[in-house]
Chain A
Amino acid sequence: MTPTDAQIKDWMNKQPQAFRDTPTVRARKIGLWVLLIGLFAWCLYDFNFSPERIWVGLQRLGTVVSFMFPPHLWETWPEWVEVFTALGETVAMAFLGTVLGLIIAFPVSFLGAKNITRIFFLRHTARRGYDIIRAFETLILALIFIRAFGLGPLAGILAIAVSEIGTFGKLFSEALENTSKRPVEGVVASGGSRFQSILYGIMPQVLPVHLSIILYNFESNVRSSTILGIVGAGGIGFMLSDRIAGLFWDQVWTIIFLIIAMVYIVDYLSGLIRTRVIGKWEGAH
């Protein structure tokens, strides 16, 4: 039953298209790979990836990693309080930033939805507004707010809040557009005003979607508020960059593990809220 090598060769010659690409496709594939690999090689040269530099770097990295075990544990209670305050500040930054962004973005998002704002000009101005806000990196916003409000978590909160206005505005208005029209028609048919048709026709459809967007963004803000600390906006990131600057690698690893634990816990809790509230919502229907 097993075909011989000669038979296989014979089939391959009879049906070349089934076994390999046409010459043009092959030439294009090879060209693409050559281009990518050439660019990569040029980068290696341009960025000075010399073997001895990599070797020295790896040795140093080995030293840094060797501080991971045994993990550093602070000895006095005030030091632990300092660490946990910093972790709390990071979560607080993400939480307040999300909530403040939400408070502003929720009403504004109605302007960007096609089925609610029929005025073309207004809708497009709102949409471009969200895009421009989203173009600002949170980190750059934080730098600006640090200039105005000084070092500390407040700058981070405002940076997250502003960048969330753009994100929430876009995602919320897309959620509003993806609703079914039939509940709205039902409310209008029974004599509801336009406001009532939005309140009873559209809102029940979008609230679960909004909630899951909010929770997801909160999770991602917890991650980004860690970074904001590095430029001086308080929280655990500030402490981490301080310890790295002082080359206290043992403390650095402990802080990194605490950050990972914090992200785990926040993700777990928000998953809990998500299943609870959205599950309950579906049960009520």
Chain B
Amino acid sequence: MTAAADVTPLRPMDQFELDYSAQRRRAKLGWFIASVLFFAFFAFSAWLGDFFKVTQVTNVDGSREFRWIIPAGLPRLGEFIEKTLPVLRWDSLGADFAGWFWRWKVWLNLLIETVLIAFMATALGVFGGFVMSFPASRNLAPNKWVLWICRRYLEIARTVPELVWALIFVFCFSVGPMAGVLAIGLHTAGALGKLYSEVNENIDMRPLEGVKAAGGTWFDQIRYGAVPQVMPNIISYTLLRFEINVRASSIIGYVGAGGLGQEFREALSLQEYTDLSALFIIIFVTVMVIDYGSEKLRHRVIGLEKGPAT
């Protein structure tokens, strides 16, 4: 094609070729810069992340030697996982199981506590998020300042992880499930408030105008104009959040805020390694059952109340 350019009959085609190669060059340059940046960042973060750290290991014959941390750690990982698995023999299966789940009475109590923490935190979060979501949505906020304050509040509540809130609340409200409820509840209020306010921003404003025309106040407009439209979405988001909160409340006990998490910490520090696998199985089964049940419920709710807002 470039040879044809000397003969000069095909001007538009040449123009196209020129543009095309220029575009190709630009794209290549872009890719080159992006990959250089990527690898620089990769190498830097690998260095920050201890990939090139050297550690001492003890050999079988007792001598010490230096090795890179990853090859040194992998065998230890295998050993640790092996230790968490219980010994189950076929001829004494019942006794082995009883030995594996030896603290099942305590665990059952804590499991109920975990689910109740999740329930209560979801209830508090729904209340907080629901109330805050109306002043935090652009089309419904009474004025700019309220909008700004509510949005920042929700952002702070959801950006700070539950575990950090839990650490703070454990100090304030002492060890126990109360701190966990408040921590997860605050985080949930932030997360749900955002989701709800997004739902609110997508509603049809005409019902609100109708209420306003009939002489309704801001509260009347929200209550009779907005709430009926957003209800189905809110129920579905709430059930989803309950599933997430069950997971969160099962680990929040690690910092002393109630639930099964404290058993993880205890098992680790008392070196009862088979307890870890038992606890993991308990949480896995619970989360699966709750996910399944809430999915069924969600589909039913969406089927029952097919609202205009989706």
B119 at the interface (CB under 8 A from A): yes
- Which listed residue, B73, B161, B268, touches A149 by the CB 8 Å rule? B73
Interface size class of B (residues with CB under 8 A): 35 or more
Do A64 and B49 have beta carbons less than 8 Å apart? no
B80 touches A147 (CB 8 A): yes
The yes or no answer to B254 lying at the interface (CB within 8 A) is yes
Contacting pair A143 B264 (CB below 8 A): yes
Q: Is the CB of B168 within 8 A of A244?
A: yes
The closest CB in chain B to the CB of A91 belongs to B45
Choose one: A39, A88, A140, A154; the contact of B51 (CB below 8 Å). Answer: A154
Chain A residues contacting B160 (CB-CB under 8 Å) are: 256, 259-260
**Of B48, B53, B70, B76, most A-chain CB atoms within 10 Å:** B48
Contact present for A150 and B55 (CB under 8 Å): yes
B76 touches A92 (CB 8 A): no
Is the C-beta of A130 less than 8 angstroms from some C-beta in chain B?
A: no
- Tell whether A147 pairs with B76 under 8 Å between CB atoms, given A92-B48, A230-B255, A244-B167: yes
Chain B residues with Cβ below 8 Å from A241 are: 167
**Is A238 an interface residue when CB atoms closer than 8 A count as contact?**
no
Question: Is A36 a contact of B77 with CB atoms below 8 Å?
Answer: no
Find out whether the CB atom of B171 lies under 8 angstroms from the CB atom of A60. yes
Q: Is B146 engaged at the interface, CB distance under 8 Å to the other chain?
A: no
Instruction: Determine the distance from Cα of A240 to Cα of B255 in the docked complex, in whole angstroms.
Output: 13
**Neighbouring A residues of B70 by C-beta, 8 Å:** 149, 154
Q: Are B172 and A89 in contact (CB under 8 A)?
A: no
Is A64 touching B172 in the complex (CB atoms < 8 A)?
Answer: yes
B123→A263 contact, CB < 8 A:
no
Contact of A153 among B49, B120, B250 (CB under 8 A): B49
The complex places the Cα of A13 from the Cα of B137 at a distance, in Å, of 38
How many A-B contacts if CB must be within 8 Å? 148
Stretch of B87-95, B175-183, B194-202, B222-230 contacting A (4+ beta carbons < 8 Å): B175-183
Q: Does B141 contact A (CB under 8 A)?
A: no
Q: How far is the CA of A44 from the CA of B163 in the complex (A)?
A: 21
* Contact between chains at A88 and B48 (CB < 8 Å): yes
Interface SS, B side: helix
Q: In chain B, what residue has the closest Cβ to A135?
A: B284
Question: Is A96 among interface residues, defined by CB-CB distance under 8 A?
Answer: yes
Contact between chains at A47 and B168 (CB < 8 Å): no
CB distance from A194 to the nearest CB of B (A): 27
Q: Report whether A139 and B173 are in contact in the complex, using a CB–CB cutoff of 8 Å.
A: no
A135 touches B287 (CB 8 A): yes
Provided the pairs A92-B49, A139-B254, A154-B69 are in contact, do residues A256 and B173 lie with their beta carbons within 8 angstroms? no
- Answer yes or no: A61 CB below 8 A from chain B CBs: yes
Q: Tell which of B45, B123, B178, B268 touches A47, judged by Cβ atoms closer than 8 Å.
A: B178
CB contacts (< 8 Å) of B32 on chain A: these are none
A60 and B179 CA atoms in complex are apart in Å by: 13
Taking a contact as CB atoms under 8 Å apart, the answer to whether B159 and A157 are in contact is no
Q: B253-285 vs A: 1/0 string, CB under 8 Å?
A: 011001000001000100000000000100110
Complex alpha-carbon distance, A145 and B55, angstroms: 16
Are A260's CB and B159's CB within 8 A?
Answer: yes
Interface, chain B (partner A; CB < 8 A)? 41-42, 44-46, 48-51, 53, 55, 69-70, 73-74, 76-77, 80-81, 113, 116-117, 119-120, 123, 155-156, 159-164, 167-169, 171-174, 176-178, 181, 247, 250-251, 254-255, 258, 264, 268, 280, 283-284, 287-288
Instruction: List A residues at the B interface (Cβ < 8 Å).
Output: 36, 39-40, 43-44, 46-49, 53-54, 57-58, 60-61, 64, 85, 88-89, 91-93, 95-96, 99, 135-137, 139-140, 143-145, 147-150, 152-154, 156-157, 223-224, 226-227, 230-231, 234, 237, 240-241, 244, 247, 252, 256, 259-260, 263
11 contacts between A and B (CB under 8 A): A57-B172, A57-B173, A64-B172, A92-B49, A93-B45, A135-B288, A136-B280, A149-B69, A154-B49, A244-B168, A259-B159
